[in-house]
Every structure is written in C-alpha cells, then in structure tokens.
Amino acid sequence: MTEAVLTHSTNYTHVCKNVYDISAWLTQPLSLCLVIKHRSKGRRRKKNTHHTEQDRDSRDKGKGIISEDALHTPSGALAQLHVPHTDAEMKPNTQLLAGMPRVYGHVLFKQSGPQEKLQVIFKLYNLPENYSKSRAIHIHQYGDLSEGCTSTGGHYNPQGVDHPLHPGDFGNFISRNGKIRRSVTSKATLYGGSSVLGRAAVIHEKEDDMGHGGDAGSLLHGNAGARLACCVIGISSSKPWNKSRH
C-alpha cells in the first residue's frame, strides 16, 4: 500500500510515502512527504528548538492527521476517518418523458463500520396512487447528473457479476398512497475500494425481473425500464438519519 522514495541533495533528504487518500475513500493517491534537513553540530541545538516549536504548531493545526499505524493498515485509517452516514436527495430525472411521475425524496445510508451491514432508508414521494406494481431501485456507477439520470451509467458492478448480484441491487418496492417508505439492509458498503460514496441511486419505471427475463438486459439491469429519479450518494451528518427514525 505504501511506496518509499529517497532522494538526496546537499541539504535535504526527502522521504515520500504514497498512500491512498482516505477522505476520498481509497480512490485518489495522496503524497505524504517528510523533509529532514541535515545540520552542522554547532547549529543543532538552535535548529532542534525551532523544529520543536514548528511541530507543536503543526499538531495544534493538524487535527485529523492519520496516525503512523493508520498509514500502514487500511482498517486503521478507516477506523479514524470512516463516514457512517449519507443523505442523498432524490430528484426527478430531467430527461423524463411526458406523463411519467416526478418522484422526489431522500435515500439515507448508515454503516457503523467496515464489517457492519449497510442500513438504507427510502423516503420517496409523488408516485401514482393507483399504481399497484412494484418499482426497482438500484445503485448506478456514476454520480453524474449532467444529463439527468441517463449519465449515471449502468449498474455499479465492481465484481463484474450478473444482475441481480450487484451490491446496489436493492430489489422492488411497492408504493402506498403515492409513497415508498422502507428500511432495508444491503451488501453495498461505504468503505474501501468498493464504496458506493459518490455514486448514484436510481428509481425505475418498472419492476426488476431479478435476472429471470431470459435476455441480455435481464442480466444487466433487470429490464426495469426508464429512470424516474436519481440522486448522488453524498456524505452527511447523522442528523438526517436520526430524524428519519422518528
């Protein structure tokens, strides 16, 4: 996970470690560099005092810095910087065809640790009250809403498996009085390289055939039809989750 590179000059030794940027959930590299200055013995006492003051100032300003143990163990870093709550605001697809419902609401996530189950709450509104069939909800690959829900891409499928075995295949949900209010657990995660943070949740026009449709589309997306509404899965405080439980 780390790579050390040593370069020597007249006055400095640079020690750089490449680690994964935990704040981006292991998706972007971060370069940590320590600079050690070689000094003469006659000036060592003065310089050490200067650096002690600098170090103290850095500690005061550097809250949230990853510990040395965390740099060498992904689980250690995540234990310090994990984000167990997200709140995604569902909005109608900007590319909706005429006559389709303009669904809105929230999708909330909570995961207390890397080994814990992801808990999900759906609070969706403005569905047709006379519609008795269920509708599919999935996690899609990209948190890109530049072209409405179309630009979210296909199902998020980090393992390259067939539908309905994708981590964000939530299944089907029936609306009651124009609303979907459900709590479920999921095999998706907010941690590590397969985190769903920054991706999109999408509610579809139709029911998911759960891979039993007998065609290629069934194994890709369950033939769930048009995308009615979508949202980007973003980090939040615990307040929206706690409020939704009351």
Same domain, 94 and 111: yes
For residue 162, the model assigns a pLDDT of 86
In the three-class reduction of DSSP (H, G, I as helix; E, B as strand; rest coil), residue 12 is classed as strand
- In three state form, how does the secondary structure of 115-165 look? CCCEEEEEEEECCCCCCCCCEEEEEECCCCCEEEEHHHCCECCCCCCCCCC
Domain stops at, among 56, 79, 102: 79
Same domain, 140 and 188: yes
Q: Does this model's pTM top 0.95?
A: no
**Tokens at residue 54, please?**
């600098």
What CATH number does residue 169 fall under?
2.60.40.200
Same domain, 44 and 129: no
Same domain, 115 and 228: yes
Domain stops at, among 55, 79, 103: 79
Same domain, 161 and 54: no
Domain stops at, among 61, 79, 97: 79
| Total number of domains in the chain | 2
Q: What angle do CA 41, 42, 43 make, to 5 degrees?
A: 95
Same domain, 20 and 75: yes
Same domain, 136 and 169: yes
Same domain, 181 and 234: yes
- Residue ranges making up the domain that contains 10: 4-79
pLDDT per residue rounded down to tens, the chain (246 residues):
444 443 344 443 333 343 333 344 434 443 333 333 444 444 444 444 444 444 444 444 333 333 333 333 344 344 445 557 999 999 999 999 999 999 999 999 999 999 999 999 999 999 998 888 899 999 999 999 999 999 999 999 888 888 888 888 899 999 999 999 999 999 999 999 999 999 999 999 999 988 888 888 888 888 999 999 999 999 988 888 888 876
Same domain, 93 and 9: no
Same domain, 150 and 197: yes
Same domain, 125 and 147: yes
Same domain, 33 and 133: no
Q: What angle do CA 70, 157, 84 make, to 5 degrees?
A: 40
- The dihedral region occupied by 85, where left means phi > 0, alpha psi between -120 and 50, and beta the remainder, is beta
Chain centre to alpha carbon of residue 233: 6
